[in-house]
């Protein structure tokens, strides 16, 4: 759900009214010093009433991080019915949230010359094929060397876009397609599409076990109660829906295609483990290693030492944020994924023979 522009109180789409702070300066001089004016207004829908202000704001203004929104609340830049309240205070359906702030350049991040596999690029968006091992965003233990640092080198002005244009993420060891917004306007539109679920994201994975048929997994996901780095299916978690179908079955594994309806953290990994078909190589959700019956030593060693979760973002489809044209991309399976499929096929043929 998105915020509405100031002039349209009841609408749910976000519109930024951004103004350059130094319009009289040259573009080159202003690119690193300018900030964008943010003026947003939204009415709290009834289904969000009764929640904390910071929780509601995170859903209505999802293009901004929760920590940034909390800071704006404390600074009095995000008000409720014109009043300044605390992030933890409860808001009710029908209340009017107004945000007036400036999006400052994210100067703490550094640009790094890291090679990018660019699938598509224009003035508004960038589609990349992310390799395994590349962290998307700086975090504890990964202060640099991330996709974000590479983006700052490739598109310096992206420093002025929230989260450097990153609107969705892939786990460090998940490969495949990602779209990045190069402007605030593109970022706003892409976030709106993600929230309305009009972006099509289709993944392929190799799971442990023989999946008999495709299906739908509708199971809410939240942060694990004890292991905070993990997610889990739990009552009270955020709605999460995945659709899966079988591409190919092997003796003890299955090549599966998964289409996301929502985009929760670790969603495919958590959902497939939840139905007892964890991903090969998944260090967090894969469970105890199981040796396939009568498997040869090469197969056992490959499965045991597969260096990452066997998950690849294969297809991406969305409406271009400026032209509105429907666009789609496909990423070929990476070499390690193809090699594992080859071994599984050989194992199946040898056993049948």
Question: Of 196, 228, 261, at which residue does a domain stop?
Answer: 196
User: What does the DSSP 8-state code read for residue 321?
Assistant: T
Q: Is position 11 within any domain?
A: no
Q: Is the dihedral of CA 313, 314, 318, 322 positive or negative?
A: positive
140: burial class by Cβ within 10 Å (0-12, 13-18, 19+)? exposed
Rounded to two decimals, what is the model's pTM?
0.73
Catalytic residues: 171
Same domain, 207 and 334: yes
Higher model confidence: residue 148 or residue 195?
148
Q: What is the mean pLDDT of residues 33-51?
A: 80
Which residues lie closer than 8 Å to 191 by C-beta, 6 or more apart? 2, 14, 62, 63, 167
Q: How confident is the model at residue 210, as a pLDDT?
A: 96
Same domain, 122 and 253: no
* 351 pLDDT tier (thresholds 50, 70, 90): confident
pLDDT in tens, 4-29: 333 333 333 332 222 222 222 222 23
Check whether 143 has a pLDDT greater than 90: no
Same domain, 207 and 189: no
**Per the structure block, which two tokens stand in for 26?**
């040259």
Same domain, 136 and 264: no
Q: Is position 16 within any domain?
A: no
Higher model confidence: residue 14 or residue 37?
37
Q: How confident is the model at residue 168, as a pLDDT?
A: 94
Q: What is the CA radius of gyration of the chain?
A: 22
Identify the CATH number of the domain in which residue 314 sits. Answer: 3.30.2350.10
Best-predicted range by mean pLDDT (4-8, 40-44, 243-247) = 243-247
* 34 pLDDT tier (thresholds 50, 70, 90): very low
Same domain, 278 and 339: yes
CB distance 65 to 163 below 8 Å: yes
Residue with the two structure tokens 């071994």: 343
Q: Is 154 helix (H, G, I), strand (E, B) or coil?
A: helix
Same domain, 130 and 167: yes
Question: Of 162, 196, 230, at which residue does a domain stop?
Answer: 196
Question: Of 196, 231, 248, at which residue does a domain stop?
Answer: 196
Same domain, 86 and 214: no
> In percent, how much of the chain has pLDDT > 70?
87
pLDDT in tens, 83-117: 999 999 999 999 999 998 876 555 478 999 999 99
How long a stretch of residues is the chain?
A: 353
Domain of 83 in residue numbering reads as 27-103
Q: What is the mean pLDDT of the chain?
A: 86
CB distance 197 to 241 below 8 Å: no
Domain count, the chain: 3
102-105, long-range: CB < 8 A, 24+ apart? 102/21, 102/35, 102/36, 102/37, 102/38, 103/18, 103/35, 103/36, 103/38, 103/160, 103/162, 103/184, 104/35, 105/32, 105/33, 105/34, 105/35, 105/159, 105/160
């Amino acid at each position: 759900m998105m915020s509405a522009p100031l002039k349209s109180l009841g609408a749910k789409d976000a519109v930024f009214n951004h103004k350059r702070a130094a319009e009289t300066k040259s573009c080159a001089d202003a690119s690193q010093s300018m900030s964008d004016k943010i003026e947003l207004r939204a009415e709290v829908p009834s289904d969000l009433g009764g929640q904390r202000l910071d929780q509601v704001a995170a859903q209505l203004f999802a293009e901004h991080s929760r920590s940034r929104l909390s800071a704006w609340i404390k600074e009095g830049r995000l008000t409720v019915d014109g009043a300044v309240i605390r992030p933890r205070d409860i808001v009710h359906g029908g209340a009017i949230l107004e945000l007036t702030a400036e999006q400052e350049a994210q100067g703490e991040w550094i640009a790094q010359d890291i090679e990018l596999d660019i699938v598509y690029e224009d003035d508004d968006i960038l589609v990349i094929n992310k390799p395994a091992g590349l962290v998307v965003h700086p975090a504890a233990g990964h202060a640099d060397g991330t996709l974000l640092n590479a983006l700052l080198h490739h598109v310096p002005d992206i420093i002025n876009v929230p989260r450097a244009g990153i609107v969705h993420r892939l786990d460090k060891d998940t490969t495949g397609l990602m779209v990045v917004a190069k402007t605030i306007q593109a970022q706003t539109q892409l976030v709106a599409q993600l929230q309305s679920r009009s972006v099509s994201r289709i993944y392929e994975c190799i799971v442990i076990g023989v999946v008999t048929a495709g299906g739908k997994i509708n199971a809410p996901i939240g942060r694990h109660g004890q292991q905070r780095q993990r997610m889990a299916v739990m009552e009270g978690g955020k709605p999460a829906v995945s659709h899966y179908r079988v591409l190919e079955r092997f003796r003890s594994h299955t090549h599966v295609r998964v289409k996301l309806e929502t985009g929760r953290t670790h969603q495919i990994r958590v959902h497939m483990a939840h139905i007892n078909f964890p991903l090969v190589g998944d260090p967090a959700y894969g469970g105890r290693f199981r040796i396939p019956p009568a498997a040869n030593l090469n197969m056992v060693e490959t499965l045991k030492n597969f260096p990452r979760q066997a998950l690849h973002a294969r297809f991406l489809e969305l409406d271009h944020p400026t032209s509105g044209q429907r666009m789609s991309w496909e990423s070929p399976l990476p070499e390690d994924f193809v090699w594992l499929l080859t071994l599984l096929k050989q194992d199946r043929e040898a056993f049948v023979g």
